Every structure is written in structure tokens, then in C-alpha cells.
Homo-oligomer: A and B are copies of this chain.
Amino acid sequence: MSGKYVYTFGDGKAEGQADMKLLLGGKGANLAEMSNLGIPVPAGFTISTEVCTQYYENNNAYADAVIEQVKAGVAHIEKIMGVTFGDTHNPLLVSVRSGAPASMPGMMDTVLNLGLNDDTVQGIIEQSGNPRFGWDSYRRFVQMYGDVVMGLKPESKEEEDPFEIIIEQVKEKRGVQLDTELTADDLKELVSLFKEEIKKRTGQDFPTDPWEQLWGAISAVFGSWNNPRAITYRKLNNIPADWGTAVNVMAMVYGNMGDDCATGVAFTRDPATGEKIFYGEFLVNAQGEDVVAGIRTPQPINDNTRRDPSEKTLQELMPEAYNDLVNVYQKLEAHYKDMQDIEFTIQKGKLWMLQTRTGKRTAAAAVRIAVEMFEEGLIDKETAVMRVEPEQLDQLLHPTFDPNADKKVIARGLPASPGAATGRIVFHADDAEEWAARGEDVILVRIETSPEDIGGMNVARGILTQRGGMTSHAAVVARGMGTCCVAGCSALVIDYKERTMTVDGTAYKEGDWISLDGSEGTVIEGKVPTVDPELSGNFGKLMSWADEIRTLNVRTNADTPHDSEVARQFGAEGIGLCRTEHMFFEGDRIKAVREMILADDEAGRRKALDKLLPYQRDDFYGIFKAMHDLPVTVRTLDPPLHEFLPHEEANQKEMAEEMGISVDEVKAKVEALHEFNPMLGHRGCRLGITYPEITEMQARAIMEAACKLTSEGVRVFPEIMIPLVGSKTELAHQKKVVKATAEKVMEETGVSVDYLVGTMIEIPRAALTANEIAEEAEFFSFGTNDLTQMTFGFSRDDAGTFLKIYDEKDILPDDPFQSLDQTGVGQLVEMGVRKGRSTKPDLKTGICGEHGGDPRSIEFCYRAGLNYVSCSPYRVPIARLAAAQAVLKNKK
């Protein structure tokens, strides 16, 4: 604790700066930085995040020092802006905004126009010469303060805001339709009606003392750090709850004082494509919230995004202010060396900057901006590589609509977030979650979205809104998620009650299929086939830089030649996990597998295995060929045998007929193989030890395929992997079987092949005794799926029931099946590597669980000293980038 809690800014200097985000929040730190850069920012101050923590620890009270420093902060604003807080002639009005270290758009509360009361409103009217403006500001303030600070905002979306009801009543009484048609007197009446409503509902008078107002607003903002949406958002985005938010108090400037006023938002490059154009939207005579809320459709600031020649751009309407804005944006991008998302207000022709931050962008834009900024000499390669979130690449690796498919476009909106999506219409976020939970693909269709819809947006394949621009809530959030979004599609008529969406007289009901093209902004009837993505030149460049930097190899999990080829195109450097059990189900093979299971003795099993051998050999031949010159890790049979038998009566009958035995025999076998906990049962190497002939057949199939390819001049590197090993003796047993078979095959064929025999480390005991196991193993591959199951004692098939509750009750920071639990499971991985290498210093180690494609887990694997990660084909580029970033993050 420094004893300093309040940091002022304005008039070309500031007490804070950009790198103080943890203390001042993103908004506060950047306001200070802009101020330091001489960019016009209304004077203000930031109350640090430390005060937020204290606020919660001290039962919502403030230290004397905080109170003193806030007072001094207000005096600082008064001095610079030449106004006085509470003055009846020239009053200071302020905005009070949240600002956390990480961006949490729309999640917390804001109060504008603070400082107004029946006296100071006269001062505002005096200063602006505009009574309607004065009363409108006052009306907005009472409404906002009533909602946010005094708690009148309805908890659920179904209830209407009580203030909006009053506005509707007054409008009806006046016989007008629009807010703008209300007169100064109407607005004055609203202020008094609002205050009555507040008194009625809370029993409290609306505070008239500006200082009381100020502390109420500050506390409301701190309090909003722990509102349910904020908590949900933090959870989704892995933002620590103990960071807290800062509070920014800043002199009000007005974009709604008249037609020489405006307010807008802009990006220094196109956030959808990454193109180097200045890009933004604005509204004349409006407050900032009007732009984001999507009530009026904003105009483009310049020709870059003008859709219609009738639209007036800011450049045309206010060329001077526009030029100032251009200077500011160029300065900001050059200074921050990254694409900025900025907010501005023009008050009576003068430009004020209210915010700058790193702009959210699509994956395509992220890649293009990173590569182009490097080529412009703005950043170096390493920075470029760090600029793209690996997880985001997912957007680029997935299919788009087949350009040749027939498409019946039924409406056009804004291309708010790229991608292609097909799904069934739902109209409520809750429904989206419910439908998605049962496996449906859904498109969430809303008039507009709000932060409460976040859960439904998260699970939707695509989002379609009737209102709102490229920077509307729906658009910003969808881009962040990489979810396809078409916004502002005004041709839609949405009826939430009837659950219909009507376009040109055609009604689409809940459950109907539609498709969205988020790159074009089109809405298409029915389902549309998709085609594979084309990986652009910028993507290739970025990937090649990542490859230069990374030290971890990236392999893939693939069981077929096709998957192997896809993965190779994505840059896979081998197969880290080729499961063999999937191969047992195809066509006639399952019959032979069942024959083996039913056999009474080794001879019977061998007879059945002989039938499987040629199939398996062909499988491996195809995969080794596709992966020529690269290593292929093949895992011997893993699942319990009962998985190959039918469990339903009808299928059992069918099997009995096919095999020429009685249903009772089938049932008896199923019964005999039944296990209470199959996950911990007779599977993995336990099978191979019980029935060595299975391992023998598989080793033979692998080696025969490898020898054949070798004799054909194809280089193959088979790595035979024994699953579920918990002690050295298990591996030794299976290795002996494999080696003996391999030697025999090589002798028979006269061909020599380099091959390895290693093991999965997926049982806690294997990690604990890795030094012993390494005596037998030629490589380790960490099977973190099973390792996580056993280390936590969680059955992945069953954990859903309680992991949901764990998530609600904050028991675990992450789902350990999604991101490797570094604290617990990670210790076993590190131990496995360390102990294994204590026996064999150059032991090859990798990971082949789901975690191999998770960026955070990949960074862990890098630190743990693994040689490679292996993941599904579509995640290979993500892993390559994450592996490069792991090197860079751990450089110091």
C-alpha cells in the first residue's frame, strides 16, 4: 500500500501512465497516458483498484486518506476546467465509470452528468443557453442514478425499467412518439416524477448534495465488480476476482449540446479484416451511450465504410474536428504500436478523447495487423507472434460456406463478425443455452443483445440482431468470441412472444434452420454446405515465424490416413497418438473382434486375431505412408473388451445370429465382462498382459506395414506405445512381446526398421515411479486425460453433475479436462519428466491428451521440458503458435 489512492490526469499531464493497468484499470491508465501525450482528455482522476479491495475488506467503507484524496481530485478537475462542483452558475458535472485491469465491456456500472440538482441545473442552462439540454441531462442523471445507485434497475429483462414506463406515460399524455419531441418542461416534469418514483420505491429522497451523489456513484461502481454478470464474465475470461476495478471520475463533456456536437467510436484499423484504414461511426448531437446502445443507427466517420452516398460522414460535417481525430489516432497507434479502439466526443466543435484501448479484432484481422505492422517496421517478429491469441486462430481453420452452393439470401445486415454458421433459430439467451446443452446448433436472434445475454451468445453458432452497428454489443462480443454475427439487420421483424422472425412477409419460427455469413452480413434460409478454409499468405507468414521461435514439436492425434493428411497440411510433425481401437469397429472386423472375445482359449483367440491382422496391417500402411518421414506413435489396444460387445437386447440377438451362438451365451459374456468401474478395470496393458497374443498381432501388423513401406523406399518411424502402465514390470512384459514379434517380422521380411517401444504416462503411479519405468521405456507420452481422471478421482463421464456445481460455487478455477491442472496433475507431469530423465537423460517426452491443443497447457508443457505436444488436426496451428508464445513468455 503506497498510501496514494487517487491519480489525477488532464491538461497535458498525469500522475499515472499506461503500464499501471493493474492499479488504475485499463481505462484510467490509458486516460493518464493520453493526457501525458498531450491529447485532449477532460480532466479527471482515477481511484485505484486497491481501494476496491479495501472497500470489500472494510465492509464498504473508505479510509480517511481516500476521502481526502478524492476531495483533492475534484479540486484538480475544478481548477483545470474552470468550474466548481455544486456551483449554481458554472457547475462541474462528472462521469463516474468503472475501469478494471482487463476489459469487461458493459459488465459494470456508470453514472453520467453527476453533480446536477435543482440548483445546478440552472447553472448548466445558463452555461449552455439551452434549457432543454439542461433538463434532459438532469433527467438522464436521475434515471441513471436511480437505476444504478438506488437500485431501481429491474433484475430481470422481463421487467421494464420503471423510468421508461413513466416516459411512455408522459409521451402518451403529450401525444408524441419520440423522446426528442419532449419539451424542456416535459423533461422537467419527468425529473420530478422520477424522484417521486424513487421515494415511493426506496423510501429515500433523491440526494441533492453533489458530494453525496459522488460517493454513492463511486460505491455503486465498486459494488458492481461483484454483480452476477461481472462474475460470469470474469469466469469466462479467466479474470481473477481479486483484481478489483478502479473508478474514473472525469469532467463531463457533451456530444449532445447541439448540432455542432457529436460522439463516436473508431478503430485505427479495420477490426474485421485488419485492413489499414481508419474506421468508425458517430452520431451528431448524442451522448456516447446512444452509439453503443444501438437505438439510432450511427453514420460512418469517413468514406472508408460509407455504404450509401446519402450518408454524411464526420469528415464532411466537421472537417476540423475530424482532422484533429486523425492526428490523434495516428499518434495513438504509433505510440501504442497496436490497433486502438477509441471513443471521442465533440463538444461545440472541440474534440475530446474519452478512451483508448487495444481494439478487439477477428482472428483474420489479428493476423493481418500483426504481419503488416511488422512489415511497416512498427513491431518486431516476436511481438507480431505475441499479437495473435492462439485460441482465436480457430476462426480461420474452420469451414466457410461453399461459394457454389445455392443460397437464398433473405436479408442483409452488417458483417459484424466473420465466419459461417448454420443452426436453428432461438430468440432467448436462456433457450440458446438449453438447446445447445442438448446438442442443438442454434442461431441466437435478438432485436439487440445486452450483457445479460452473454451465456446464450457463448453457445450459439451465430448471432443475428435487428438493431445496432459494427460496434454494438452484439458485434463486439461476437468478434471477441470468434462467433459469426450479422448485426443491424433492420429488415427483420422479431416477435419475442410468438417466437417468430418475419422477413418480407415470410415468418420463420423458433427451431427453423437459417444460416449466417458473418463476413458478408447475409442471412440465408435453411442449411448451407461449407468448404474448407483457405489459409492466406499472412497466416502462413505468421506461422513460419512461430515455427522459427518454438522449440516444442507439434504432432497430431490421428487414426486415419485422411486425418493424417489434414494434420500434415496444418503443419503436424508426426502423429503423437494413433488409437487402434477405432479400427476394430469397421465393417467385418468387429465380427472377428467378437470371435476373439468369445474364444475360450488362446488358440481360439489367435484364430480370430489372424483374421484381424491383414486389416490392421493395411490401416498402418496407409497411415505410415501419409506420415512418411515423420514419427507415428501407435497405441496398442486400450479400451475394456466389453466395449466391443452389444449391450442392447436387439443388438445382442443380432450378434448371436451372426456368430451362430445363443443369445444367452452373448449375454453371459457381456455379464462376465461387466465392471463396476470400467475406467479402472481390465483395459490398457492389463489386456495385453492377460492376452499377449493381442499385442503380438498388433506389433506384427505395425512392423509388417513398416517393413513393406521401407522396402518400397518410404521412410517410416513407428513408435509403439503401451497404454495404462503403472509399473515397470508391466511395460517390460509388453515390450518383450513387441520386440520379439518385431525381430521376427524383420527376419521374415529381411528389412530393418528403426522403431521405438515406449509408454503412456497416464496413471499416477507411472509418474511416481517414472525413474523405474524409464529403464524399459524408449519414450514417454503423457496421457493427461486419464491422468487427470485419476489424479482428481473424477470420472469424465460422470463428473458433469458435480463439476457444474463446482463451477457455480467456485471450487475449481478451470475445468481440469479443458486446461491442464498445473498445480496437481502438472506436478505428476513434471515428476514424470524429471524422474524419467534421471534414468535416461535424453528420454523423448510428449503429451497426447486433449490438453495438447490448449494454449495454457502447451505453455506448461514447454516449461516442463517436453519434446512435443500432440493435438487434433484442426488445432495444430493453434499449438504451433502457442508453442512459440510459450518461448517468448518465458524468455525472462
Contact = CB atoms under 8 A, between A and B. Distances in A.
A810 interface: yes
Contact of A805 (B689, B789, B827): B689
A795 interface: yes
A688 to B, nearest CB: 11
A677 B797 contact: yes
B726 A798 contact: no
B678 A679 contact: no
A307 interface: no
Contacts of A764: 764, 790-791, 793, 824, 828
Given A682-B802, A805-B689, A797 B729 contact: no
Contact of A677 (B677, B762, B765, B827): B677
A823 interface: yes
A471 to B, nearest CB: 13
Nearest to A765: B824
Given A811-B733, A812-B727, A676 B798 contact: yes
B768 A828 contact: yes
Contacts of A681: 795, 798-799, 801
A771 B812 CA distance: 17
B730 A811 contact: yes
Given A769-B824, A790-B793, A802 B686 contact: yes
Interface in A773-803: 786, 789-795, 797-799, 801-802
A724 interface: yes
Nearest to A793: B763
Given A682-B798, A768-B827, A809-B689, A726 B677 contact: no
A59 interface: no
Contacts of A827: 768
A680 interface: yes
A690 interface: yes
Interface in A668-691: 675-682, 686, 689-690
A262 interface: no
A737 B663 CA distance: 53
Nearest to A789: B680
Given A689-B809, A793-B790, A798 B680 contact: yes
A762 B805 CA distance: 22
A878 interface: no
A806 interface: yes
A690 B789 CA distance: 20
Interface string A725-736: 011011001000
A825 interface: yes
A726 B803 CA distance: 13
A823 B768 CA distance: 8
Interface residues of A, number: 49
Contacts of A786: 793
A764 B790 CA distance: 7
B682 A679 contact: no
A727 B811 contact: yes
Interface string A807-834: 0011110000000010111011000000
Contacts of A798: 675-678, 680-682
A208 to B, nearest CB: 43
B768 A792 contact: no
Contacts of A729: 810-812
A676 B468 CA distance: 13
A724 B795 CA distance: 13
Nearest to A805: B690
Contacts of A763: 791-793
Nearest to A691: B805
Contacts of A769: 823-824
Interface in A546-594: none
A23 B686 CA distance: 37
A680 B727 CA distance: 22
Nearest to A675: B798
A765 to B, nearest CB: 4
Contacts of A765: 791-793, 821, 824-825
- A677, A686, A689, A769 — which one has the most chain B CB atoms within 10 A of its CB? A677
A136 B729 CA distance: 50
Contacts of A676: 678-679, 795, 797-798
Interface string A321-340: 00000000000000000000
Contact of A795 (B675, B733, B805): B675
Interface in A725-769: 726-727, 729-730, 733, 762-765, 768-769
A702 to B, nearest CB: 23
A677 B727 CA distance: 23
A711 to B, nearest CB: 36
Nearest to A684: B793
Nearest to A763: B793
Contacts of A792: 726, 763, 765
A692 B726 CA distance: 36
Nearest to A676: B797
Nearest to A794: B680
B793 A768 contact: no
A830 to B, nearest CB: 11
A882 to B, nearest CB: 25
A584 B676 CA distance: 22
Given A791-B768, A792-B765, A806 B689 contact: yes
A724 B797 contact: no
B825 A689 contact: no
Contacts of A726: 791-793, 824
Contacts of A809: 689, 733
Contacts of A799: 680-681
Contacts of A795: 675-681
A763 B793 CA distance: 6
Contact of A802 (B689, B762, B794): B689
A725 to B, nearest CB: 10
Given A678-B677, A679-B677, A793 B689 contact: no
Interface in A859-892: none
A590 to B, nearest CB: 22
A727 B689 CA distance: 35
A735 to B, nearest CB: 13
A809 B737 CA distance: 13
A698 to B, nearest CB: 19
Contacts of A678: 676-677, 795, 798
A789 B790 CA distance: 9
Contacts of A680: 677, 679-680, 789-790, 793-795, 798-799
16 contacts: A675-B797, A676-B678, A678-B795, A680-B790, A680-B798, A681-B798, A681-B799, A686-B806, A690-B801, A690-B802, A724-B793, A727-B824, A764-B824, A765-B793, A768-B791, A768-B828
Given A686-B802, A729-B810, A763-B792, 5 more contacts: A676-B797, A682-B798, A690-B801, A763-B791, A765-B793
**Shortest Cβ-Cβ A-B pairs, 3 listed:** A680-B795, A677-B795, A765-B824
